[in-house]
Structure 1
Amino acid sequence: METYDKIGINYNKTRKVDQRIASIIEENLQPKGINLKLLDVGAGTGNYSNFFSSKGYNVTALEPSEIMLAQASHNNNIKWIKGSAEDIDIQDNFFDGVFSVLASHHFNNLQLAISEINRTLKSKHFAVIFNADPSLVSKKSWLFDYFEIVFEKAISKYINIESFKSLIQSTANTHVKIIDYPLPDNLTDNFFASGWKKPSLYLDQTFISGISPLASLETNTLNLIQERLENDLKNGTWNNKYGQILEENHFDDGYRFLIWQKP
């Protein structure tokens, strides 16, 4: 969790819950009953945990980073646990639903994490993972053009979505549904591709500091990317090549939901 110990200091400034993403998670958890118990795996500072706790769910927020935990807001409906997805200190068949938002690429052992998630989930209940597959991003997009090094690193690190689906199916012995999520242009959770329609955001250090693949870049590399982008925005090069994207309402940057029901 060295990465999140680094970026966690400013995390809450830019990474806020996006209610559309949270609502898709809730819809696919298919909650039924009262006093339902949910697990947020890789909860960060608790933005999505707080969304669900505000709706009356009892949330357990699992997070390994001390920096993130130190900034977490606490309330009676959230129980915080310092720990990893590969070793969840909770009894079997405990949760009515499990979710994870843009955290699974940081798991050290994805198969073990899926096994642990499934172990703590009640039978016939659902888990939802929101994740990204950078290999799905068009190499003709402006983000790939300027941040090719970021995509190359991510493609080598992230599991592609079909392999992820197969891994869950074999580990949990169940069917997995994938939901595509083309990004709207007004996300409130400012993860990497959230500024797809606002290129100047990638010159903002506060925005950069809350995004792990950008905050992890060597300073010189990031400076060169930003210098090129800033110059191209000023001289019209960016607009001439990519200005048509400003007419779009959504952009597919490979973000997907994976949903499964424990047998």
Structure 2
Amino acid sequence: MATYDSLGTTYARTRRPDPRIAAQIHAALGTATDVINVGAGTGSYEPPRTTLAVEPSEVMIAQRPPGSAPAVRAVAEHLPLVDNAADAAMALLTTHHWSNLAAGIAELRRVARRRIVVLTWDQHILRDRFWLVRDYLPQAAAFDDTRATPTDQLADLLGGARQEPVRIPHDCLDGFGAAYWRRPDAYLDPQVRAGISMLAQTGEDTLAPGLTRLADDLTTGRWHTRYAQLLTLDTIDVGYRLLVSDL
């Protein structure tokens, strides 16, 4: 996650919380009176009852808005908290960055009294359903193959968890990987790509041929013909999952 000292500089601009996804996350947290946000980044999706954010990158912490929960610089694998420190712990689109997943999940289980909420994705579904990585940038999918954890395996590490599909709205405000599934031109914007770790960490040289083909297909109209059905949809399931574990 230390890479976010260089990769995270645009997050406050491109990774704004989407209210529809926020509502699902906050509902999953239930009646928890206090919440710890692990891998908190700039603070997206933190409910008002968040009492502490844990984030290793100073660059990300510096982008947290005024009034956010206090933040401490630390990693998921070594949370600076006592046992049973809060009703709930959440970790949103962060577990793939952890150096030791099992240790990080064990720490979540140690500090949470009642519930853990994790937002992640199913890599197999994303590969099959998301046109960008399937048809234009398979190198980015290959990069994520090296770090994505199967959701069933993650649920097992959590001691059992229910999995909720997180459907992505066509006008999603949060610019994560598949957020622009109906706005393909966005992926040609370097600032947008800088806020998507699978693209930023794959590297511009590796992505260049696929991005050139995408730009050409958008110019000629081939993209709109090929994916015409997508343009009729308001939301899509491309594999993002909310895992909810009761302790």
* TM-score category (smaller protein): over 0.9
In the alignment, structure 1 residue 136 sits paired with structure 2 residue 125: yes
The sequence identity of aligned pairs, in percent, is: 32
One-letter amino acid of the counterpart of residue 123, structure 2: P
What value does the CA root-mean-square deviation take over the aligned residues?
1.6
> Is 2:112 the partner of 1:115?
no
Matched, 1:8 2:8: yes
**Unpaired runs of at least 5, structure 2:** none
Alignment of 1:150 onto 2:140:
yes
Per the alignment, residue 34 of structure 2 pairs with 37
1:118 alignment partner, SS class: helix
TM-score, with length taken from structure 2: 0.94
The one-letter code matched in structure 1 to 2:188 is: L
Task: Give the aligned partner of residue 233 of structure 2.
Answer: 248
Contact 1:61 1:81 in 2 (8 A): yes
Matched pairs, number: 246
Rounded to whole Å, the distance in 2 between the matches of 1:141 and 1:223 is 19
TM-score (ref. length: structure 1): 0.88
The 3 A distance-change label for structure 1 pair 10 and 120 is same
Q: Deviations over 1:37-67 (max 9, x none)?
A: 2100111011223xx12xxx14200000111
Q: Which residue of 1 aligns with 2:155?
A: 165
Report the Cα distance in structure 2 between the residues aligned to 1:247 and 1:25, rounded to whole angstroms.
Answer: 26
Distance 1:203 1:219 in 2: 11
Where does 1:134-213 land on structure 2 (aligned, <5 Å)? Answer: 134-137=123-126, 139=128, 141-143=130-132, 144-169=134-159, 175-213=160-198
Distance 1:139 1:261, change over 3 A: closer
Asked if structure 1 preserves the Cα contact closer than 8 Å seen for 2:130 and 2:181, the reply is no
- C-alpha offsets along residues 162-203 of structure 1, whole Å, 9 cap, x if unaligned? 12112222xxxxx31111112111211110100001110101
What secondary structure is seen at the aligned counterpart in 1 of 2:110?
helix
Give the secondary structure class of the aligned counterpart of 2:84: coil
